[in-house]
Amino acid sequence: MFTAFLLCALLHAQPSAKKSLVTRLDPLAIEHKGNVALAVKNLETGESYYRNADEVMPTASLIKIAVLIELHRQAQDENLKLSDRVTLRAADKVPGSGILTEHFSDGAEFSLRDTARLMIAFSDNTATNLVLDRVAIASVNERMKKWGFPETRINAKVFRGSTTSVDPERTRRFGLGSTTAREMVGILEQLQTGDRLRPFYKQAVLNHLSKNADKDKFKRMLPSDAVVVHKDGSTSDTRTDAGLLHTPGGIVAVCVLTTKNKDRRWQSDNAGNLLCARVAKEVYAHFAALETPKPK
């Protein structure tokens, strides 16, 4: 009887351990009240999942990954130095996320390296514009196109769309920036395994992304010690997150894009935030379940 009970338990446990990414993620996307695009790729095994992954969608602040990459590529090409100083002026300050506008005085100075950290760790909009003043919007877009990601574009400085847009039509359609889930996972794969950035600059980019302070999306439901290298974004009807999840079964590139969301609340439990969190949780659980047990 005990043997039969054990066999029954194993049979019931097996399907859960072997749930596919489709089984895990499709219901989350279907249930969400808004447009959803998802892309997942294990960079070690190649296992992947894509849903609406070629649909061009708004990024919100997620596009700051592209700005960060361009900054470090220009440093690599010796067009600038990460130690170069930038000066904050009252005219530079814009609203929204970040700390410079509310907490720093006119005339404060920062290195480009520290300005980039503020852009990523706190998604600082003013810091983003200061970086864009050095690297140029058009240069970010040209870099992404050269890397093979033509739909990953920043359209204007943050909260300066009416005066700095390089593409008014895309600004109208997508706001700050656009991408596809497939392209964003491709960018993350380049950062992890590619050679377009030399190791020093690649590691600097990954280090900045590892300091992202957001806890409402990818990090929300993961183990406290999980390594998440990512950037997120939020507007009233858009929630996004993309990054590298270090799972027991390998490093996994994940992108969640949502827009035209019914839930537009600026609350931690916004439905878009929760979708990002649930996708990350299911991806982590999937690859944790597939981990090959280590011999004792």
Give 245-265 pLDDT, tens digit per residue: 999 999 999 999 999 999 999
Provide mean pLDDT across the span 218-240: 98
62 neighbors 97 (Cβ within 8 angstroms): no
**Domains defined for the chain, CATH in brackets:** 20-287 (3.40.710.10)
Helix (H, G, I), strand (E, B) or coil at 8: helix
pLDDT digits (tens, 9 = 90+) for 98-110: 999 999 999 999 9
Q: What are phi and psi of 222, to 5 degrees?
A: -90, 160
d(CA 4, CA 20): 27
Tokens of 192: 């992890």
191 neighbors 253 (Cβ within 8 angstroms): no
Tokens of 186: 């491709």
pLDDT digits (tens, 9 = 90+) for 35-75: 999 999 999 999 999 999 999 999 999 999 999 999 999 99
Provide the β-strand partners of residue 230.
Answer: 243
Window from 2-6, 68-72, 129-133, 219-223 with minimum mean pLDDT: 2-6
Q: Which of 255, 129, 281 is nearest to 180 (CA)?
A: 255
d(CA 29, CA 145): 29
Is pLDDT at 12 greater than 80 in this prediction?
Answer: no
Mean pLDDT value across the chain: 93
pLDDT of the residue at 292:
53
Residue type present at position 292: T
40 neighbors 283 (Cβ within 8 angstroms): yes
